[in-house]
Structure formats: structure tokens, C-alpha cells
Amino acid sequence: MKETLPLGRIAGIRVGLHWSVLVILGPIVLIALLVSGHSPQTPPDHPSWAYWVLGLVAAVTYVASLLAHELAHAVVARRNGVKVDGITLWMLGGVARLHSEARTPGAELRIAAVGPLTSALVGGLCTGLALWLDSLHATELMVEAVAWLAAINIMLTVFNALPAAPLDGERLLRAVLWHRTGDRLRATRGAAAAGRVLGWFLIVTGVAVMIVAGELSGLWPALIGWFLINTATAEERRAELRGVLDEIPVSRVMTRAPVTVPATMTIASFLAEGPFGHYHHSAFPVLAPDSTAAGLVTVRHVNRSPFQARSTTTIGDVMRPLPDVTTAGPDDLVVDLLPRLEASPDRRALVLDDGHLMGIVTLADITRTLTWLTTTRPKP
């Protein structure tokens, strides 16, 4: 899932928001405004600004609890030898983008379980805080706000334990099935099937509510169910790809010695040699003066530069810098690179060895390899 709004980095992990967070933050603010049980017909016990502040604090605290949930995944993943590329928060929780897959069922179970456990811990702490504030005779508004945060974190725990991707329950079920069968692909298929069953249940339930009760609120579970079905299907497809591409290193599929562009070249000079000259591709690795990789430039990046400034603007000024480019080592596995490549805005990855460019990989390279492998291998 691609982020819409970058929030920065925490412990070196990129954190961002998906636009769907706005879908849930609005209702959270409104619920928090009414958390004391007052209606528009009932005179409030506190000034109006207090309810607005409460709504904002509740919304921010909810996002912070989602972030704690995903950071727990990231920390445990690192401890189990899995690098984390970033975290994206969305309306139903968050997604920690792992650089590679867990190598054992035990690691998969630990990485998946720590998220719901963190949410349960936050919910328990908020419950205790609400009881403590109540014993101190704190304002009813404050007590109910903390109790609401406790309830939503407990609900988050239960919801994330459901066996459907991208929820943690899907990974928990997959880890259990993987441990029992010893077959990762078979475990993923079983978890995906469970996710689809849950998705169809939500769709049928939502449609029934809309038809029988005439309530539009049934649209919400129906949409969630549709999302879960699509996500489960995509997860199964990725598992099938892993089965075909298993143990194939990036060096086997990359394009070696790609055409490069020096970072010091002006855009005018670059354009003068394309598309019929030396630069006849649409994306190029950029090299620093010491011949190490500096970034990636595409025709789209060049097109954003003002026409009148192209004689003085260099490729280094418009390129995507290396920290923002998807990279891989020659010995990395293609199955681990594929999800990062699909999430990359440029759909390309630079293959580096100690900072030096070894090649470039595109989705087309992997698709071509996949076509050959599926054609030459016997059907199961």
C-alpha cells in the first residue's frame, strides 16, 4: 500500500499516511465530540472548545496507537533478521512493508502476533488509566475519553486478529498452517481462502442490512469485505509467484551494464542525445563523479524542469536521489524484491554492490523470467 503523506522516519524506518486515514479520522473526531453522551438538544456540561480539543486529541492518539502497533511489528521483524522498508498507516490499521519474508514459521508467528499484543496492551493501560481517573473523581469528559481510547484499541486487537490479509490474523493463520504442513505455499493458500470466506461473509451481511433493514450502514462492511477478498486474492497470487521464483537471485534477472548518466551532465546535453542517440531508454541510473550510484532519472523527471533552464540544470538536480530509489543486492532473492518493486513509483530497482552499480531490474524483467519459467516447468 502506497503512502500519500510522508511523516518522516522513526529509528530509520520511513513512516507515512495513506489517504484512507482521513476516512476514519473524521468519524473519530465526531464520536469523540459526542463521547459524553450529549446530543444537540442537551445543553453541554463543558465549553464547546473542550469537545473539539477532545476530538483532535482522540484522533491523534488513535493514529499514535496504530503507529505503536506497526512499530512493534518492525522491531520484532528486525530482531528476526527481516529488514523493514517502511510503515504506512491506513483506515483499518497499518502495514509494515518488510524487505523480505520471514524464513521460519516461528519468526512469522512472532512478527504477526506482536502487533495485536501491543494494541491489547495499550487498551489495557487506557482501561486502567480510566479507572484510576474515575477513582480520583476526574471530570466525566476526561474519563469517558480515555475509556473510549481503551475500547477502540481493544476493538483494533480483535479486528486485526481476523484471518484476512492484510490483517495480522492472516499471517498468524499462515504461520500455524506453515508449521503444521511444512509447506509455505499451501499455508498461504489456506490463509487466503479464509480471508475470502470472511470477505464474502461481510459482503452478504452488509447487503442484507441494506436490503432487509434499509440501512446504508451496511455499505461499510460490504466495502471492507470486497477489499479483503481482493487483498486475499492478491496475496495468493504473490505466493504463487514466490513458488516459481523461489531461490532465484536478482543477478539472474537483472539487465547488466545498463546505460548510465553522469550527475553533472546538463539536461540540454542529455536531451540532445535521445531518443535516437545514446540515451534511447526512459529511465537511467545516475552516477556520481566517483562512479558510485547517485540516483535514478526518468524522462518524467526531466520533463518537469523549466525549458529555459535546461542548459544550466544538471541531471543531479532533477533525479530521484539514491535513498528514495528501490535498491537490491545481486544476491538478494527476486521474491523479496518483487513487492518493493511493485510499490516503487518508478517500477525499477538499482542493483548495487558496495555502492557500485551492477545492473537494473524492472517489472518487465521479472515478468519475462516468470514467463520462461512457467513455460518450461512441468504442470503440477
Which of the residues are catalytic? 70
Compute the distance between CA of residue 235 and CA of residue 192 in angstroms, rounded to an integer. 7
The angle, 0 to 180 degrees and rounded to 10, between the axes of the packed helices 140-160 and 105-135 is 160
Compute the distance between CA of residue 103 and CA of residue 81 in angstroms, rounded to an integer. 9
Measuring CA to CA, how many Å separate 122 from each of 94, 230, 349? 16, 30, 38
Cell of 202: 461481510
Measuring CA to CA, how many Å separate 123 from each of 49, 112, 116, 226? 26, 18, 10, 29
Compute the distance between CA of residue 337 and CA of residue 46 in angstroms, rounded to an integer. 54
Q: How many angstroms separate the first and last alpha carbons of the chain?
A: 32
Compute the distance between CA of residue 55 and CA of residue 68 in angstroms, rounded to an integer. 20
Q: Which of 222, 171, 234 is nearest to 198 (CA)?
A: 222
Q: Under 8 Å CB-to-CB from 303, ≥6 apart: which residues?
A: none
Q: Which of 132, 116, 147, 133 is nearest to 54 (CA)?
A: 147
Q: Over the range 6-17, which residues count as b (16 or more CB within 10 Å of their CB) and which as e?
A: eeeeeeebbbbb
Degrees (nearest 5) of the Cα angle 117, 120, 122? 110
Cβ atoms of 191 and 167 within 8 Å: the answer is no
Cβ atoms of 98 and 153 within 8 Å: the answer is no
Contacts 24+ apart (CB under 8 A), 125-130: 125/150, 126/150, 126/153, 127/154
Cell of 70: 506497526
